[in-house]
C-alpha cells in the first residue's frame, strides 16, 4: 500500500529555498517515484528515513535527496524536528 507522502513544505528563509520534508518508513517501492514528482515543485527534498529496515534511505540518497536517518521508528515530532533543523528552522 502506498503510504509515503509529503507532509510539509517549508520555505527556508536563510537560503530562500522551498524544501519538501518527507517522512518515510519502509517505502523502498515508492520513494523514487515520489521524489521524481516532488522535484517539479521544490528546490530540495529532505527524507527522514524513520527506522526503515529496507533500502528506503539508500534509494532516496541515490535520487539526490538529503536523508536524515533515525535508528528506530519515531514520533512525527522527532521527524519534523530533525528535518527542519537542516533548513535552519531552529529547534
Q: What's the CA gap between 54 and 8, in Å, rounded?
A: 24
**Which of 24-28, 48-52, 53-57, 84-88 is least confident?**
84-88
pTM score of the predicted model: 0.71
pLDDT tens column, 29-65:
999 999 999 888 888 888 888 888 999 999 999 999 9
Cβ–Cβ under 8 Å, residues 89 and 10: yes
Given this model, what pLDDT does residue 31 score? 93
* Residue 46 backbone phi and psi in degrees, to 5: -115, 120
CA dihedral sign, ordered 81, 7, 44, 23: positive
Amino acid at each position: 500500500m502506498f503510504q509515503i507522502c509529503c507532509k510539509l513544505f517549508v520555505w527556508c528563509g536563510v537560503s530562500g529555498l522551498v524544501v519538501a520534508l518527507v517522512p518515510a518508513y519502509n517505502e523502498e517501492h515508492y520513494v523514487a517515484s515520489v521524489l521524481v514528482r516532488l522535484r517539479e515543485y521544490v528546490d530540495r527534498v529532505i527524507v527522514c528515513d524513520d527506522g526503515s529496515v529496507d533500502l528506503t534511505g539508500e534509494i532516496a540518497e541515490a535520487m539526490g535527496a538529503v536523508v536524515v536517518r533515525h535508528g528506530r521508528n519515531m514520533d512525527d515530532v522527532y521527524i519534523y524536528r530533525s528535518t527542519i533543523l537542516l533548513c535552519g528552522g531552529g529547534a
